Structure 1
Amino acid sequence: MWSIFIWVTRRAPGLAMVFVIALAYYVITREAAASGFTLSRAEGESLSRPDRTAYTTPTSYRGGGIWTFIFAYYCLTIHLLVSAFPLRSMWAVFDISRCLERTASSKALKDYKMAHKRRGSFTSLSSSETLTSSKELPSPSSTASSESGDTETEYLGDTENGLDRIIHAIVIPNYKEEMDTLRETLDVLASHPLARDTYDVYLAMESREQNGDVKAMTIIQEFAKRFRSIDFTMHPSDIPGEASGKGSNMAWAGRKLSEKYPLSIRKDVIVTGIDADSHLSSNYFALLTNMHITNPDTATTTLYAAPIIFDRNAHEVPAIVRVADILWGAAGMSGLYRGSTIAPPTSVYSLPLQLVDRVGGWDCDSEAIGEDLHMYLKCFFALNGNLTVKTIHSPVSQSNVKGDGGEGVRRVYNDMTARYKQALRHMWGALDVGFGMRKFVELWQERKHTTRAFRPLHLALQHPNDSYIKNHLDADPEQPLESGIYSEVITETIKGPDWQRTFLLGHRLFEAHFLPLQMTIFVITSTLYMTVTDGGSDPHNVDWIFQICKVLRTVGLIECAFLLFLYERYHKIGATTREKEMQEAGLAKGMCFSHRSLKTNFVDYFVFPLVAPIYGSIPSAQAQVMHFFTHDLVYTVSKKVTRQRAKSFIAEVLS
């Protein structure tokens, strides 16, 4: 029975797609037959509507029966959800923009970063097989919890004494990335005031990449003195059950870095996973450090997410690709407004190492291709829905994907194709719906268990079948574990299940992986329904529903246009702040900056209606159909914007 349930959950979005199509087909064909609608005509006759008076009395009109009601009201529900989603996104973009303005102008935040004087840094030059132990840091001191929230940077406390105890383990998964892309990302990180004293950088390499170790060592030699430490790991390519991708790469790096930090400091080690082309502002880690220090009660159960911004090469890609990335970024921001309790991250996120220990690290199978959402789900259910989420109001700069070049129409086609492949990878993450459903069942089964124990990640992997801890807790959760081999076990008490948050999470999963395709299906089928029943007496009394749906579709388009308008302010703040910071760090020369204006980007407001079907519904349908046959997607690396500073420098030397 459980195996059948697993099969169903892994294909839940696809099964829902089949159900909706079958429901629509049944209702439309029955209604068409009952109303006398036909498309056939005799030769030479003009096509005309039949006399439907014989089919309009309640006793003679049968149609789809109760299934017509189900079809109509479910169609209305989908339209309401789709029209509500842009409203939440608009509020999130507006709220985040307002917070970014306060953060950018905060003198307290600038003083906070500059107060951390550069001291002697601990650096290492080592391979994945010889990870060195970090220097011992002072034990954490008790600090008062801040009531100011995520964005009240003007209330930053005097936390300089706690700065040195926080270690930022920054993992950069990469596979066949260009050296210049990695160098630029590391240059940006190395320019931060906290880099030399608190940043441990890990280049998560793949053994599938030829000479990947040589590539890593070359970069390490260049940056060894610019961080607290810099290291690399080599993810093997022959581990059974693993799927290639960011998730498996992060999982291997997580296991290796876990060995480096003793139990005494793990709760103050914060792991941040970033893409190879992600540019993070120094504000990101300054705000992250402050939130961790000033909220000790939730420090080890908090996941930090940040909005993303495509401000590098947006002016170089077609408008439809640019708008697709804007709307995707806005969708990711829809849960990051202040007060939100459900905030899945997009690409870049941070979490304490002790939380990584609690959930057993990152998953490596094909279901974990959406690594960011998947890890969020693991953390959410491991804490019975009581995961604390905080937004770091410092946009993460990203690049729009590009194709293989070309000129004119060919370049546009290549860029659009590259973006479609990325969209398919995003929609392949619908497998997380099944993962969430199974985790919900486990949550219900263990709803009375509020005491759980875990080991540090690297030790837990050495004892994968150790049932002693669970049996001990089931017998007497209040009695401490034995010393000796169990001395590294951490036992914590967590709250009971938060069912309201769990329901909201279910709504967000439905919104992400059901709505795009089902909305398109209902747009088509509701139009067909109205066509075949036009002129009838509406015996089911559902015509008003489809009239409302037409209005909601129009309202939804207006909302998306207004969302683009609100994004203009967000993009301006983020792009301007990043460029200013890069100029102050001496990195701006040759670096790509993409600014927006209505004058140059007016075409975006005309192409956005095409984004939903091309980069939402179609790849979603393809992914859901393919899930009936396979869960494995060949992971390909998207082409990133190339670094221009090196080229500019070479040009100057040759001139």
Structure 2
Amino acid sequence: MRRFKVYLGMELRETGAESKALRLVQHYVKRFRSIDYTLHPVDIPGEAAGKGSNLAWAARKLSSNYTMPIRKNVIVTGIDADSHLSSRYFAQISNMHTIYTETAATTLYAAPIIFDRNAHSVNAIVRVADILWCAAGMSGLYSSSVIAPPTSVYSLPLELVDRVGGWDCDSEAIGEDLHMFIKCFFALNGHLTCRTVLSPVSQTNVSGGGNGGFRGALMDMKARYKQAIRHMWGALDSGFALRKASEMWKDRKYTRRAFRPLHKTGRGDSLNGYFPEVQLEAGSELPTDNDAFSDITRDTLKEPHWEHIFYLAHRLFEAHFLPLHMMILVVASTLYTWVTEGGEDPNNLSWIFSTCNVLRPLGLVEVAVYMLIYESYHRVCVRARERDMAQAGLADGMCFSHRSLKQNLIDYFLVPAVALLYGTLPCAQAEISHFWTADLEYAVSKKAVRQRAKSVTVEDVV
């Protein structure tokens, strides 16, 4: 643990944020190499409240603590407050960063997620929604995948953060994990290296704060729908990707790049700037340590990787449009067959609908198979976390949610309803809303937490 420097990204708009940060610093200061906190101000022009703007603010502070020679070996990991990472997560990243030296500076590390904290205490519909969300996150993390967007928690080298200018803060970047992935992807002309960390990140299901019963279930479902809207609001990233692809096409002949450390740049600067090739090829010397521009890093990019760009476009379609398009196709095909029933088929289309009638139940069977596989995945993850926390002496007050096929059989029958409620409907609402606004009021969902100690004030600690 002494290798880790922890930065707590606190929001100034949160009541008692500084007191909370000071309490955490005081409690864990001897556990890490260092622990510090930042207070993200309120109402910065051009910023939208959310994880992305908080990360951007904290990243600038941590960037100033590292000199040029060691920046290439600094890995930045963004972690949600409710996430739990095993020590194996960091061990695997350290090994991959050391072994794959050629791509170390251009690699983004992503891990699968698991909802194993309070799944037993939330409504079954909410639980199934998160199980399917878990599947969506894992879908791109297979070993040969070149497009592996992270879900919530991910790691990347500080040098890569410098190259892309840190995290964006506007409304378009509300889904900061995918947004940052796209930003890094196009900054490298599609040559971003993706590596999977085989250490699942433990997370909690959203809770509406109810105390059970019908009313509590409705509160949980409402809270989960708000979260689904926030997820689907990330469809804005499809437009962001199109713009970045257009910029890459225009600048495809210019492969020279120059960038500076994140804290040395102005907020909102584009660090993926060009360094004139004639100046570099004219024999100009690299700046010395005493030079005012000694912190500039120069690099030459590879040609755009169009195959990877095609794969990214396909993934974005799956994530942002397919949930709604599938429902449109199902409804339209049902209406068509109902209207044309008993009539002639001059265009010979009946075989298409007959084939789809077979494929639909097969799709449900595939989901059922995934749910069965998830049972063992969940069991392995929760047992491993329970063992790790017990060995660390932190098991008391922690939540461990165990599953069984008999106990959770209802989950299998709720999949179609959940797909409609938390896939199709929020996707439609978000994309229709984007016709007139890109802004979404960001509200942090209520999550299960450990039993908290008594709050203290700043004066109590200082």
Give the TM-score normalised by the residue count of structure 1.
0.67
SS of residue in 1 equivalent to 2:274: helix
Shift of 1:475: 4.8
CA distance in 2, matches of 1:208, 1:458: 23
CA contact (8 A) 1:312 1:592 kept: yes
Match of 2:203 in 1: 398
Does 1:512 find its partner at 2:319? yes
Kept after mapping to 2: 8 A contact 1:591/1:645:
no
Q: Do 1:318 and 1:415's aligned partners in 2 also have CA atoms closer than 8 Å? A: yes
The one-letter code matched in structure 2 to 1:642 is V
Which of 207, 220, 230 aligns to 2:12? It is 207
Amino acid paired to 2:432: V
Aligned to 1:127: none
Q: Which of residues 69, 73, 97 is equivalent to 1:264?
A: 69
For 2:246, the equivalent position in structure 1 comes to 441
- For the residues of structure 2 that align with 1:471 and 1:414, how far apart are their CA atoms? 54
Deviations 1:539-586, CA, capped at 9 Å, x for gaps: 111121122222221111111111101111111111111111111111
1:452 and 1:473 in contact (8 A); partners too: no
The code of the aligned residue for 2:213 comes to G
Match of 1:281 in 2: 86
CA shift for structure 1 position 357:
0.3
Equivalent residue of 1:297, what SS? helix
Distance apart, 1:531 and its partner CA = 0.9
Secondary structure of 1:254's counterpart equals: helix
Paired residue for 1:150?
A: none
Secondary structure of 1:384's counterpart equals coil
Alignment partner of 1:255 is 2:60: yes
Equivalent residue, structure 2, for 1:580? 387
1:625 lines up with 2:429 in the alignment: no
Q: Which residue identity does 1:369 align to in structure 2? A: I
Q: How does 1:125-164 map to 2 (within 5 A)?
A: none
8 A Cα contact 2:191 2:302, kept in partner: yes
**2:276 aligned to which of 466, 472, 476:** 472
Identify the residue that residue 308 of structure 1 maps to in structure 2: 113
Seen in structure 2, the aligned counterparts of structure 1 residues 325 and 465 have a Cα distance that, compared at 3 Å, is closer
Instruction: Give per-residue Cα distances to partners, 1:158-216, cap 9 Å, x unaligned.
Output: xxxxxxxxxxxxxxxxxxxxxxxxxxxxxxxxxxxxx12x1100010111123322221
Give the drift of 1:500. 0.8
Contact 2:256 2:274 in 1 (8 A): no
* AA in 1 matched with 2:310: F
One of 334, 340, 358 as aligned partner of 2:139: 334
CA contact 2:106–2:192 (8 Å) conserved in 1? yes
| 1:440 Cα offset (Å) | 0.7
Task: State the distance in 1 between where 2:295 and 2:325 align.
Answer: 49
Whether the aligned pair in 1 keeps the contact of 2:162 and 2:271 (CA below 8 Å) is no
Matching residue within 234, 255, 274 for 1:450:
255
Q: Which has the larger radius of gyration?
A: 1
Q: Judging changes above 3 Å, is the alpha-carbon distance between structure 1 residues 451 and 471 closer, same or farther for their aligned structure 2 residues?
A: closer
How many Å apart are 1:619 and its aligned residue? Answer: 0.6
Map 1:340-419 onto structure 2 (within 5 A): 340-419=145-224
Measure how far apart 1:448 and its partner are: 2.0
Instruction: Select which of 320, 336, 353 maps to 1:529.
Output: 336
Q: In the superposition, relative to structure 1, how do residues 275 and 517 fare at CA in structure 2: closer, same or farther (>3 Å)? A: same
CA distance in 2 between partners of 1:474 and 1:553 (Å): 59
Q: For each residue in 1:326-345, what CA deviation from the matched residue of structure 2 results, as whole angstroms up to 9, or x when unmatched?
A: 11011100011111111000
Does the CA contact (< 8 Å) of 1:312 and 1:593 recur in 2? yes
The answer on 1:241 being equivalent to 2:40 is no
Residue 458 of structure 2: aligned partner: none
Q: Distance in 2 between matches of 1:202 and 1:546?
A: 56
- Identify if the C-alpha distance between structure 1 residues 477 and 503 changes in structure 2 by more than 3 Å, giving closer, same or farther: farther
- Return the offset for 1:387: 0.5
CA distance in 1, matches of 2:413, 2:270: 57
Alignment of 1:491-502 (within 5 A): 491-502=298-309
Change (3 A) 1:534 1:231: same
Number of aligned residues: 451
SS at match of 2:83: coil
Query: Structure 2 counterpart of 1:302, which letter?
Result: T
- Taking the aligned partners of 2:266 and 2:95, their CA distance within structure 1 comes to 32
Partners of 1:463 and 1:533 in 2: how far apart? 56
Match of 1:565 among 357, 362, 372: 372
Task: Structure 2 unaligned segments of length 5 or more: list them.
Answer: 455-462
What residue ranges of structure 1 are gaps of 5+ in the alignment? 1-194, 648-655
User: 1:477 Cα shift?
Assistant: 5.3
Instruction: Report the secondary structure of 2:430's partner residue.
Output: helix
- Give 1:442's aligned amino acid: E
Q: Per the alignment, in what secondary structure is the counterpart of residue 142 of structure 2?
A: coil
The question of 1:600 aligning with 2:400 is answered no
Distance in 2 of aligned mates of 1:473 and 1:217: 49
In the alignment, the residues of structure 2 paired with residue 282 and residue 339 of structure 1 have an alpha-carbon distance, to the nearest angstrom, of 25
Q: Which moved more, 1:321-330 or 1:445-454?
A: 445-454
What's the % identity of the aligned pairs? 62
CA distance in 2: counterparts of 1:303 and 1:465, whole angstroms: 20
Q: Aligned partners of 1:498 and 1:436: how far apart in 2?
A: 14
Secondary structure of 1:249's partner?
helix
1:473-528 deviations in Å (ceiling 9; x for gaps): 46545744545222110011221111111100000000000000111111111100
Deviation of residue 462 (structure 1)?
7.4
Report the 3-state secondary structure (helix = DSSP H, G, I; strand = E; otherwise coil) of the residue aligned with 1:389.
Answer: strand
- Partner of 1:205: helix, strand, or coil? strand
Q: Secondary structure at the match of 1:404?
A: coil
Matches within 5 A, 1:101-116: none
* Equivalent residues of 1:592, 1:644 under 8 A apart: no
Change in Cα spacing, 1:474 to 1:635, as seen in structure 2 (3 Å) is: farther
Contact 2:82 2:449 in 1 (8 A): no
Q: What CA distance in whole angstroms lies between the structure 2 residues aligned with 1:521 and 1:290?
A: 46
Residue type of the partner of 1:303? Answer: L
Which of 16, 21, 24 does residue 216 from structure 1 map onto? 21
CA distance 1:445–1:465, shift in 2 (3 Å) = closer
CA distance in 2, matches of 1:474, 1:327: 52
